[in-house]
Chain A
Amino acid sequence: MVVAQRRVPALLFCLLLLLLLFMTIIGAASVGAARLPISAVWQVFADFFSGSLDVAVEGRAAVVRLIVIDVRLPRILTALLVGASLGVAGVVFQGLLLNPLADPFTIGVSAGAAFGATVAILLPTFCVLPVFLAGTAIIPWFAFAGAVLSLALVYFIASSRGRVMPESMILAGVIVASFLSALISFCQSIAGEKLAAVVFWIMGSFSGALWSQVFLLLPYCFICLIILQAHAGALNIMAMGDTTALQLGVEVYRVRRRLLLVAAMLTAVAVSVSGVIGFVGLVVPHINRILLGPDHRRLLPASALLGGLVLVLADTLARTVTGATEIPVGVVTALLGAPFFCVIFKKKFHDDK
């Protein structure tokens, strides 16, 4: 695995990330179809933090406030929360499965979410739905249900007598994911004019993010992140292997079950609101491992911050780089993430030799 020769001070690193994140949010709120001056965006944030957002403003300031608060900020915050979730889930999966290739999608959760979303998109063409199920608002719920069901299936396949072994979890994940991918392909082949919607959803996007979504995501992610952070020490001990961890008093099988579940639920909710966004959950943990070393107590918060930062940047690129049309954010992360990962991976191997 990655060897950190000289570690970066974790607290400094996190403060730097926090600063960068804040600057990125301001920047991301100012760019887009309507270009807003940074000072105007800053004014909105200043109003927000001073609690004077209730005071009505007029003219141009009102427009800026409307765009920033109602249009861009929910999207930015959704990207931030999803990025943080994917970064943290990646760290946890790599640590739990003791596999550097593990990422939030290794265990088939993304395929489940994609299948759920596909079903939700195609359902109206095949049957008449009751009113409460109509519209695109149901897609995240179907995606979430799909993710949870595939997680349950993977867990059922991988566990025997209440114990889950890392390698069987990965194997079961790959099997379930390929089965679901085939199902998705089948659905796509009969999708007709809905094909574009299915493909676009799977590639990942934050368009249409709403405040209501942010308010659902925020406590959910926060609770999951707190639970995972509280197990950071146990994760470190479990990185020494099952036998050692048992001898050091960690209930390995119970803790692994709990953490797999929490990290998978975090992934499930991230995928269900955004689609399949690759590479964040793989690259972010590796970068942090190189910079900070293997201690999960530092890796988890740093990966939440870096994951959020990366995805806010990627989403800002996705919605601005081609002008009028948006490109899927999953395409941006893969296009930029893969080469970047190759470079640091190559460099790391070179350094080790």
Chain B
Amino acid sequence: MTNSCDHSDNSCQPAAESFSKAQEAWNPLLEVSDLSCGYGDQVILDKLNFKLWPGFFCGILGPNGCGKSTLINTICRVNEPLSGKLILGEQDLCAIPRQELAARIAVVPQETHVAFPFKVREVVAMGRNPHLSGFFGSGYDLENEQVDKALSATGISHLAERAITRLSGGERQLVLLARALAQEPQLLLLDEPTSNLDINHSVKILRLVATKVRQEKLTALSVFHDLNLAGVFADYLFLVKDGTIRYQGETREVITEEILTDLYEMRLTVYEPPGLGRPQVAVRAS
């Protein structure tokens, strides 16, 4: 899995103008209009409007508590939206039966804790649940081709028979990514997938997603905490603050000192390391 997504290779980075071209040429996979989400009476995000296109890795940035995870949970319908419309493909997302929705949208969670000692293969096979049909409609098949594919794509085939409770945080996150891939989704949501991981595992996971996005025209939307990882991996960013999307645009357009200073209320230095072609962010100690 070394350099499956080498950044000197253009296949991983769309040319600067391709995003706007794609926007004109293709239909969006997800179209969100006037979406308000929150819990009960509490509105956390108000009147959001945005679209997600296949083949692009989109990111969400914003300070803690701005509602990034709420947005992810609303799109996968763990929370029902308070108001507004979500159109997935041509369908109203809220009218899609949950099992069918899970065959189209998969989520890689932030929290990787698993209470029961299921084998890795069992956990990944649970991702096949949305594709099973039967009288009672829930379950999974351990000997599934997609399960093996997901295990090998994430490089964890050798862990297949291990109990997930005995793995490290980084390995567990790879298992959960494999489970999401086994769902064969059109839209992959990632809720700070790398927040508890070291840089090696973080990059490994994001490269895997980026490759899937490029090669299989997957649509990905990830919450980022690390600005530098967002700068390298995201094609398009939504910057959330005070309950709205304050800025959105291609990564190089929005990772600027002016915008980030406004977003995080502190001075940050943005620079572009030679040869990277992507913005990076530096902080000052004082």
How far does the alpha carbon of A244 sit from the alpha carbon of B108 in the complex, in Å? 9
Interface residues of B in 111-133 (CB under 8 A from A): 114-119, 122-123, 126-127, 129-130
Chain A minimum-CB-distance residue to B131: A249
CB of A234 within 8 A of CB of B106, answer no
Q: Is B107 an interface residue (CB 8 A)?
A: yes
Q: Is the CB of B115 within 8 A of A4?
A: no
If over half of A's interface residues share one DSSP class (helix, strand or loop), that class is named, otherwise mixed; here it is: loop
Asked whether B168 is an interface residue with its Cβ less than 8 Å from the other chain, the reply is no
Chain B proximity of A241: nearest CB distance (Å):
8
> Is A239 located at the chain interface by the 8 A CB criterion?
yes
Given the interface pairs A236-B118, A295-B122, the reply to whether A247 lies near B136 with Cβ below 8 Å is no
Q: Which single member of B106, B129, B163 contacts A3 (CB below 8 Å)? A: B163
Q: A248-B102, A248-B126, A250-B129 are in contact. Are A233 and B138 (CB under 8 A)?
A: yes
A232 to B141 CA separation, bound complex (whole angstroms) = 12
Check: B73 CB closer than 8 A to any chain A CB. Answer: yes
Residues on B with beta carbons closer than 8 Å to the beta carbon of A88: none
Using known A-B contacts A234-B138, A247-B107, determine if residue A294 contacts B116 with beta carbons closer than 8 Å.
yes
Assess whether A232 is in contact with B139, with CB atoms less than 8 Å apart.
yes
Contacts of A4 in B (CB 8 A): 117, 163
Q: Which residues of A contact B270 (CB under 8 A)?
A: none
A5, A231, A234, A297 pick with most chain B CB within 10 angstroms: A234
Decide: A247 near B76, CB < 8 A? Known: A231-B136, A240-B114: yes
Contact of B98 among A239, A241, A249, A295 (CB under 8 A): A249
Q: Which residues from 228 to 284 on chain A have a C-beta closer than 8 Å to any C-beta of chain B?
A: 230-234, 236-237, 239-241, 243-244, 246-251, 255
> Count of chain A residues with Cβ under 8 Å from any Cβ of B?
29
How far apart sit A4 and B118, CA to CA, in the bound complex (Å)? 9
Considering the chains assembled together, what is the distance between the CA atoms of A260 and B263 in angstroms? 47
Return the contact of B138 from the options A3, A98, A250 (Cβ within 8 A).
A250
- Chain B: CB-nearest residue to A100: B115
CA distance A255 to B139 in the complex (A): 12
Greatest chain B CB density within 10 A among A231, A248, A295, A297 is at A248
Total B residues in contact with A, Cβ cutoff 8 Å: 36
Q: Which residues of A contact B115 (CB under 8 A)?
A: 1, 98, 239, 241
**How many A-B pairs fall under 8 Å by CB?**
89
What's the Cα separation between A295 and B77 when bound, in Å? 27
A233:B99 contact, CB within 8 angstroms? no
Q: In the complex, are the beta carbons of B139 and A234 less than 8 A apart?
A: yes
Q: Does B62 contact A (CB under 8 A)?
A: no
Shortest C-beta distance, A298 to chain B (Å), equals: 11
CB of B236, distance to nearest CB on chain A (Å): 23
Q: Evaluate contact between A246 and B118: CB separation under 8 angstroms.
A: no
- Please name the residue on chain A nearest to B73 by beta carbon: A243
Are B73 and A249 in touch, CB under 8 angstroms?
A: no
Q: For chain B, what secondary structure do more than half of its interface residues adopt (helix, strand, loop), or is it mixed?
A: mixed
B36 at the interface (CB under 8 A from A): no
Interface pair B127/A248, CB less than 8 Å apart? yes
Contacts of A140 in B (CB 8 A): none
- Residues facing B in A285-327 (CB within 8 A) are 293-295, 297
Cβ of A230 and Cβ of B116 under 8 Å apart?
A: no
Question: Would A248 and B78 be within 8 Å (CB), given that A233-B138, A236-B126 are in contact?
Answer: no
With A4-B163, A243-B109, A249-B101 as known contacts, state yes or no: A233 contacts B116, CB within 8 Å: no
A237 touches B116 (CB 8 A): no
B247 touches A (CB below 8 Å)? no
Question: Which residues of chain A are near B129, meaning CB under 8 Å?
Answer: 233-234, 237, 248-250
B159 CB to nearest chain A CB (Å): 15
Please state if B102 and A247 are interface contacts (CB–CB under 8 Å): yes
Q: Chain B's nearest CB lies how many Å from the CB of A173?
A: 21
- CB–CB A295/B118 < 8 A: yes
Cβ contacts under 8 Å, B138 to chain A: 231, 233-234, 237, 249-250, 255
Closest residue to A238 on the B side, CB-wise?
Answer: B138
Q: How far is the CA of A232 from the CA of B165 in the complex (A)?
A: 20
B130–A249 CB distance below 8 A: yes
- Complex CA gap A138/B114 in Å reads 47
Q: Report which of A230, A233, A240 forms a contact with B135, defined as CB distance below 8 A.
A: A230
Is B103 among interface residues, defined by CB-CB distance under 8 A? yes
B203: min CB distance to chain A, Å: 24
Which of B101, B102, B138 has the most A CB atoms < 10 Å from its CB? Answer: B138
Contacts A/B (CB < 8 Å), 14 sampled: A1-B117, A3-B165, A236-B126, A237-B126, A237-B140, A240-B126, A243-B109, A247-B78, A249-B103, A249-B130, A250-B138, A251-B99, A293-B117, A295-B122
Closest 8 CB pairs of A and B: A233-B139, A249-B102, A234-B138, A249-B99, A249-B130, A294-B116, A230-B136, A247-B107
Identify 16 new A-B residue pairs, CB closer than 8 A, beyond the known A1-B117, A2-B117, A248-B183.
A5-B163, A233-B129, A234-B136, A234-B138, A236-B140, A237-B126, A240-B116, A243-B73, A243-B109, A246-B77, A249-B101, A249-B102, A250-B99, A250-B129, A294-B116, A297-B139
